[in-house]
Amino acid sequence: MGRRSYLAITGFAVLYLIGAVYAPRPLWVAGLYLVTSSLCFALYAFDKRRARFGGWRVPERTLLVWGFLGGWPGAIVARQVLRHKTRKVSFARAFWATVVSNVALFVALSTPAFDRLVAEAITSLSTR
């Protein structure tokens, strides 16, 4: 996929900014993506170093979980800059599945319907 994968980050940033107009998210949400992306980049860099020089490797499952938790933008940058985890097709498929899942979850949690659902649940719990 190469450099085109950066389009996923750009598209998400646009989606995030458009969503901020209609359904603003707390600032910590952006912070979460920044922190998990930084951590994910560091995990890929550590794994790349270990792949070169031997030693304990970061399990692919760990890379995928951190990507799903919001680190996928950092993972995309790491995959391109470090040229790591770019050839294994099974990993690439799993990786993109986590990206799509994370973005879908973000969109679902960013809708006014979700906010109403949470408000109703809080109201229901407080009236008991």
3-state secondary structure of 46: helix
Q: Could you give the number of structural domains in the chain? A: 1
Domain that holds residue 80: 2-126
Question: pLDDT tens string for the chain (128 positions)?
Answer: 677 889 999 999 999 998 888 878 888 999 999 999 999 999 999 999 999 998 899 999 999 999 999 999 999 999 999 989 888 899 999 999 999 999 999 988 887 777 788 788 888 888 76
pTM equals 0.84
How far is Cα 120 from Cα 67, in angstroms, rounded to an integer? Answer: 31
How far is Cα 40 from Cα 107, in angstroms, rounded to an integer? Answer: 21
Within 10 Å of residue 92's Cβ, how many Cβ atoms? 15
At 81, which amino acid appears? V
